[in-house]
């Protein structure tokens, strides 16, 4: 059964990129008119990205996402704007602090009540992972050192067709080690020697069996519309 699940994953997730195309369709249907209309958080170091992620709360996907899809990062930026506004903070000013005065930036983030003013709409691990990738300094998102991606990991659960998964923002640091940013953690997790080590660690942490079905790296362009 595990071998068959791995075959399904390789065909539909790795080769066809069904996850990415379904996400782009959902973004085109529901989000295209809002893209580019909000302050875009970008140019940040991984530790700052993780701190910003923790200002929002996790909410599950619903029918509009086909119960599992990537939101466009601008949708998450809009949710952040709502949370910052509810906390009496200006997004542009805080983004400027992140690049000019890290001490004040982190101190200010500690005053934020996470999720305050955030509507009850989907924002789960895949959305946080894609959003995190979009916020990283540009040098992480190109074919140079260091490097970053969205990492999708799926693991086995007992029976058929039971499986589960998790998405994180994976990056390679200056030493060539892998770390990841994600929802529900206080700081980037790592280091790891290989991407497979990261995938197996996530399966062990989240999955009851710990058997990794498969993992895939995504660039932002593969999962979002322009």
Question: Do residues 47 and 187 touch, judged by C-beta distance below 8 A?
Answer: yes
Omega of the bond prior to 191 within 30 degrees of 0, cis? yes
| Residue 207 pLDDT class (50, 70, 90 cuts) | confident
Of the chain, the percentage scoring pLDDT greater than 70 comes to 95
pLDDT in tens, 63-106: 888 888 999 999 999 999 999 999 998 778 888 888 889 899 99
For residue 7, what are the β-bridge partners? none
- The CA-atom distances, in angstroms, between 130 and each of 93, 148, 158 are 23, 11, 29
User: Rounded to two decimals, what is the model's pTM?
Assistant: 0.93
Every domain of the chain and the residues it spans: 2-222
How many Å apart are CA 56 and CA 201, to the nearest integer?
A: 25
Mean pLDDT of the chain: 91
User: In whole angstroms, what separates CA 26 from the centre of its chain?
Assistant: 17
For residue 149, pLDDT beyond 80? yes
**Nearest of 83, 56, 86, 85 to residue 71 by alpha carbon:** 56
For residue 160, pLDDT beyond 90? no
Q: Supply 17's token pair.
A: 């990129």
How is the chain classified by DSSP, letter by letter?
-HHHHHHHHIIIIIIS-HHHHHHHHHHHHHTGGGTTSSPPP-SB-HHHHHHHHTTS--B---GGGTTS-PPPHHHHHHHHHHHHHHTT--HHHHHHHHHH-HHHHHHHHTT--TTTT--S--B-HHHHHHHHHHHB-GGGSSSSSSEEEEEEEEEE-SSSS-EEEEEEEEEE-TTS-EEEE-TT-SS-EEEESSHHHHHHHHHHHH-SS--EEEEEEE-GGGT---
pLDDT for res 89:
87
For residue 217, what are the β-bridge partners? 151
């Amino acid at each position: 059964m595990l071998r068959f699940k791995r075959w399904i994953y390789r065909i539909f997730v790795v080769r066809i990129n069904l996850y990415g195309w379904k996400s782009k369709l959902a973004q085109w249907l529901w989000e295209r008119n809002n893209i580019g209309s909000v302050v875009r958080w970008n140019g940040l170091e991984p530790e700052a990205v993780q701190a910003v992620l923790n200002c929002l709360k996790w909410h599950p996907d619903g029918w509009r996402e086909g119960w599992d899809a990537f939101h466009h990062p601008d949708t998450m930026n809009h949710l952040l704007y709502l949370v910052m506004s509810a906390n009496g903070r200006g997004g542009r000013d805080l983004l400027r602090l992140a690049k000019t005065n890290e001490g004040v930036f982190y101190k200010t983030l500690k005053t934020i009540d996470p999720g305050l003013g955030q509507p009850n709409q989907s924002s789960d691990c895949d959305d946080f992972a894609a959003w995190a990738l979009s916020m990283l300094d540009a040098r992480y998102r190109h074919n140079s050192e260091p490097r970053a991606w969205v990492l999708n990991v799926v693991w086995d659960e007992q029976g058929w067709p039971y499986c589960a998964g998790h998405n994180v923002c994976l990056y390679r640091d200056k030493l060539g080690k892998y770390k990841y940013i994600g929802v529900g953690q206080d700081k980037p997790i790592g280091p790891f020697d290989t991407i497979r080590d990261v995938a197996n660690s996530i399966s062990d942490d989240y999955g009851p069996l710990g058997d990794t079905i498969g993992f895939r790296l995504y660039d932002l362009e593969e999962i979002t519309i322009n």
